[in-house]
Each structure stands twice: as structure tokens, then as C-alpha cells.
Amino acid sequence: MFVKGALAEGRCIRLQMQGIAFNHVDRACRYEQVISLLHSCNAGMSFPSIFKDQHQLKGFYRLIGNPAVDHSIFIKGYQSGLINYSREQDQLRPWLLVQDTMLTDFHSRKVLDLGYTQTERSNGFLLHHGLLLNEAATPLGLFHQQVIHRERDRYKQGRAPQDKESGKWIAGLLSGAEFSRQTGRPLIHIMDREADVAQTINVANGLGQQYFVIRAAQNRVLLAPDGKALPEKLFEYMPLQYAGVCIRRKLSDAQGKTYQASCRISQTQLIIKGVEHPVRCLWVKEIPQSQSVNAKELAEWFLLTNLPAEEYSSEAIAGIYAHRWVIKDFHKCYKTGCKIESRQFGSRKTLTTCIGLMAITAVVLLRSRYLARQAPDSPFEIVVRDASEQKLAKKLADQYLKPVDNQLAPPYTTLWWLLLLGRMGGHQGYQQKGLPGWQTLWKGYSFFQSLLTGLQLADKPPPFYG
């Protein structure tokens, strides 16, 4: 199976599962059975398709519906496991906590009982995530998840919802501070423009071992040392500090595709109105490759950080912020791989409990793809543990993989397996398009599972009636 081997090989995943405190032997055993089935099939299928045995299906629904089992049990378990995993590591280098918010919409739900997300007739909630990465930017697990319901009766109130929800970033910072307190490991919080709130920056500066890289959204007033306002605001001031330094780095477009680009870069220490301590600011501006490029399409970042200049160069900070795209991949795993918006439960409690349970599956999916990217020459048996799946993959390779695929990825490696699934899902090839995306991978994996099921049925003897 696509993720089963990554689960078996990932101690941090095992520790997160062991961290869940059910305080009940039967519930713990039932959870082990449920998660084993989720990680040995296509997690995007309906639950009746995953739990084909009626006893298993009933056991799953009993676990989710149990009054003693809720969303917080799973999140606290993941936190406990990640803290223990950090304690096992030899070095205390800073890790990254990428914060971001994901909108969910349950369009097929008949009752508008979850709250609104964007429009009055939408039906869903927000999930604010803190995804933990190690110093190599490898995803480790979901350390923070906050469920935010926007109640429908508040839809027409004057203030925008995001103005009232800025506390979610502080909640993520406080979770990170507790992690650092228990492990001694500093964290670098990576946050997008919505986190550019003076209170968030002030709280982060007041917490021990909590650093941040925030993309600025506000064209803020800058102050001179005597407290008087400078004539230029942030967005006008930073380009004026450019001193001819350029860097070459990877950027991501609106679809998350990466490309190489040359960028202008400058940095300086600033006093910002409303922010209690001076903040280091970076300006990164993509240089157009031709005259025909629309200036509005060029990447431009204004980054605020409290990372010390003597330890982190401008280029290093730009590289840290670029890891923000990992959490976008996590959201795709959650939505596309686990199909959380297709899950049907009768109450908010059971729905959010299921989403908390499936978070570990989304992390396993995410780690599997990163394994193929970071260790492409590893044997694909690390990821595909089932002998029948290994046999079928080797048979299908001759039919689906192109000669160029075998040149780019040695046969029977993790990258080879990922390219095979991509080709089966309609991907045009690694050389042209890069690694397959989540939707393509799951389309290919679903097709692979269909062929495997047909092969298994063909091997069974016909039923005997007599």
C-alpha cells in the first residue's frame, strides 16, 4: 500500500499513535484496528468501503460516537508523541511550526448546522493547523489543530470574521511555547499575511524560544529612534534599502509549482508603530526574466522576523518562509487524500472527532510523498509492504512507465513507485511537470487498487453450490 511502509518505518508516527490516551483497553484496541485499516487502503473511500466487515464498521462508528472520545483526545495524543520524539533526538536544533488555516465546506450536508465559511449559505468550519517540521523540513506531525465555527447568526455583523479570529495565531504560539518548555527545543513559526497583527508579534516576542517569520500584509508606519514617523511606510521604505544583492532560489506559483528565479533582497532592523520591540524586515522581489512578464505576477515578499541576524542570513530566512508550502500539501492530503469534506456524521462532535482521528493518516500521506522527494533511491518496498502489490506494480511498470521515467528513477525505488502512480493517474511525466500532485496520485492509486482487487478476485476459486 502507498503509505503502509512509511507508517511502519516512521517512529514519530508510532509515538503519536501511542500518545493517544483512551484510558480504556477496548477503545485503544479498536483504534489500532481502525487506523490499521485506514493505512492499508485508499483513505479517500467511503467508510463502508474501507470497513467491509460489518463488525469492523460498527466498531468504527462506536469509537467515533463514544461520548468519552472527542477531537481533543487525538490532538493531545499527537502532541504527546511529538514531544517524546523530540526528546529522543540528539540535538536541539530549532524545528519549524507552519501555521495556516483551512476552510472546509460540506456541500452535500442537508442541514446547515456547521456554521458558515465565506457565504451565508456555505456550511462548514475552519481548521487552524500547526504542522511540525524538523530542521530538514521533513513533516513530522500535526502539533496544533483548532476548530473554529463561524455561527450563522453573526454573519451580518460589521467586523470581518478574520478580525475576530486573530487569536488562532496566538493559540498556535502558545502551543509551540509549551512544546519548547517540555523539550528545550526552539521553534520557528512560519505564518502568512493574515498573522500580520501587532498583538501576534508582541506575544511571540514575549515567549521564550519562539521565533517567527511572518509575511507582512500591512503597509505599516515606521518610526525613527526618537519616536517620530518616517516619511515612507514599510512597503515604500524597504525597496529603498536595496544595495544590489541578488539571490537565486526556488519560488512557488499560485498552483504550488516550483521554479527557479533570481530575486533582489534587502534587510534592515525597523521600529514599527504598535510593535513593542524592533523587528527585522526582509524584502524579496523577483527579477523579471523578460520584458513581456507582467509586473503584478512577480513574487514579492515583505517578511517580518525576530530571528537573530548573526545566526540567520537573509537568504536563510527566505528559505525558511518558502517551507510554508508544505502545509498547503497537508491540506490537499486532508481534503483529497482523506476526503474529509465527504464524511457524513450526525453532529459537530462526531464529525470533528473523525477529522481529528484522520489527521494522522493525512500526515502519513504527506510524509510518503516527501520520502520519495528526499530519498528517491530508497527501495520501494519501504513504502509498498504487501507482496501482491509489489508484484502487480512490477507488472504494470512496463505498460505505464516511459523510457524517460526509468532513466530518471531507477526501477523499484520510491520515486519509481510515485511516477508509476502518477502515470496511472494521467500525469504527463516528471521531467515536464515535476512530481505528480495529490489528485493525480490518488486517481492513479485508486486505479491501482481496482486492478489489485480484480486480480485477487480472479485468483479465488469459484463458489461451490451443492
Q: Where are the alpha helices (DSSP H) in 198-346?
A: 198-206, 234-240, 314-322, 325-332
Kindly report the average pLDDT of the chain as a whole number: 87
Q: Who has greater pLDDT, 294 or 84?
A: 84
What mean pLDDT is predicted for residues 30-56? Answer: 83
Q: Is the pLDDT score of 465 beyond 60?
A: no
For the segment 263-287, what is each residue's pLDDT rounded down to a tens digit? 999 999 999 999 999 999 999 999 8
Domain ranges, ordered by start, for the chain: 4-71+347-365, 76-156+164-331, 376-456
User: Residue 129: which residues within 8 A CB-CB, separation 6 or more?
Assistant: 98, 99, 100, 101, 102, 142, 144, 145, 327, 330, 331
Best-predicted range by mean pLDDT (166-180, 351-365, 366-380): 166-180
Q: Is the pLDDT score of 4 beyond 70?
A: no
Q: Is the pLDDT score of 227 beyond 80?
A: yes
Q: Residue 389's closest CA among 41, 10, 56?
A: 41
Give pLDDT, residue 3. 41
28, burial (CB in 10 Å: exposed 0-12, middle 13-18, buried 19+): middle
Distance between CA 168 and CA 397 in Å, rounded? 46
Q: Is the pLDDT score of 258 beyond 80?
A: no
Distance between CA 352 and CA 233 in Å, rounded? 43
pLDDT band at 432; cut points 50, 70, 90: low
Give pLDDT, residue 434. 74
Phi, psi for 271 (deg, rounded to 5)? -105, 120
pLDDT band at 250; cut points 50, 70, 90: confident
Q: Is the pLDDT score of 63 beyond 80?
A: yes
Q: What is the pTM of this model?
A: 0.86
For the segment 346-360, what is each residue's pLDDT rounded down to a tens digit? 899 999 999 999 999
Q: Is the pLDDT score of 163 beyond 60?
A: no
Give pLDDT, residue 6. 37
Give pLDDT, residue 261. 86
Give pLDDT, residue 463. 58
CATH superfamily entry for domain 76-156+164-331:
Transposase Inhibitor Protein From Tn5; Chain A, domain 1 (3.90.350.10)
CATH superfamily entry for domain 376-456:
Transferase Inhibitor Protein From Tn5; Chain (1.10.740.10)
